[in-house]
């Protein structure tokens, strides 16, 4: 069985990697979909985010990275995937994700959402937090995969 893990991944964090690794133990294939969120202005291009996820998940043999658009539920249907993976860090995430999962159930009752709770060391972590620390050239070693730290910091040294 396949699972779809959608997100903006702008940039990917160690929390995202942890969710991907755990999902890979549960499913034959995990498709990581870099989605456009019209409510967010992306800092990094979709191509750069795809490259970074590929580098950061190279140790996982059952991961596929794609760029998606439109409704996640429609992408899942096109890919014949019946499970969506979502990470939960805190109560606020749960409320938002519950609303999304319920909406998706109304749109397509054949697709289930599986919530994976963030490990405590990642419960504070988001791409936004990592970008804010990086914008001040702060230490992001515990936030961002090692493979991409230099590139993330370089971006913010040019555009603080």
Q: Which CATH number do you get for residue 52? A: 3.40.50.620
Active site residue 55: no
Question: How sure is the predictor about 159, in pLDDT bands with cuts at 50, 70 and 90?
Answer: low
Q: Is residue 79 part of a domain?
A: yes
Q: What is the mean pLDDT of the chain?
A: 94
160 pLDDT exceeds 80?
no
Question: Is there a domain that residue 49 lies in?
Answer: yes
Reply yes or no on whether 59 is catalytic: no
Overall average pLDDT of the 47-57 stretch: 96
Strand positions, DSSP E, 1-160: 2-7, 29-34, 63-67, 83-88, 112-117
> Of the residues 40, 45, 78, 128, which is catalytic?
40
Phi, psi (deg, nearest 5) at residue 39: -85, -10
Identify the active-site residue in 8, 14, 16, 131.
16
Number of domains in the chain: 1
Residue 22's pLDDT is 98
In the set 49, 50, 56, 127, the catalytic residue is 127
**What's the whole-model pTM score?**
0.94
Domain limits for position 30:
2-123
In-domain check, residue 106: yes
Whether 127 is catalytic is: yes
Q: What was the pLDDT predicted at 49?
A: 96
The pLDDT assigned to 156 comes to 86
Is there a domain that residue 110 lies in? yes
Catalytic residue among 14, 48, 86, 89: 89
155: annotated active-site residue: no
């Amino acid at each position: 069985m396949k699972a779809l893990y959608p997100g903006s991944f702008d940039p990917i964090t160690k929390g995202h990697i942890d969710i991907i690794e755990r999902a890979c133990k549960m499913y034959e294939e995990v498709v990581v979909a870099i989605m456009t969120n019209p409510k967010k202005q992306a800092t990094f291009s979709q191509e750069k985010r795809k490259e970074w996820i590929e580098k950061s998940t190279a140790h996982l043999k059952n991961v596929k990275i794609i760029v998606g658009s439109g409704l996640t539920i429609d992408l899942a249907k096109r890919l014949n995937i019946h499970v969506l993976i979502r990470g939960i860090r805190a109560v606020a995430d749960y409320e938002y994700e519950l609303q999304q999962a319920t909406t998706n159930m109304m749109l397509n009752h054949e697709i289930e959402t599986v919530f994976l709770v963030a490990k405590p060391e990642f419960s504070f972590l988001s791409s936004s937090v990592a970008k804010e620390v990086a914008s001040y050239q702060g230490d992001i070693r515990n936030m961002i995969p090692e493979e991409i730290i230099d590139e993330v910091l370089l971006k913010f040294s040019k555009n603080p």
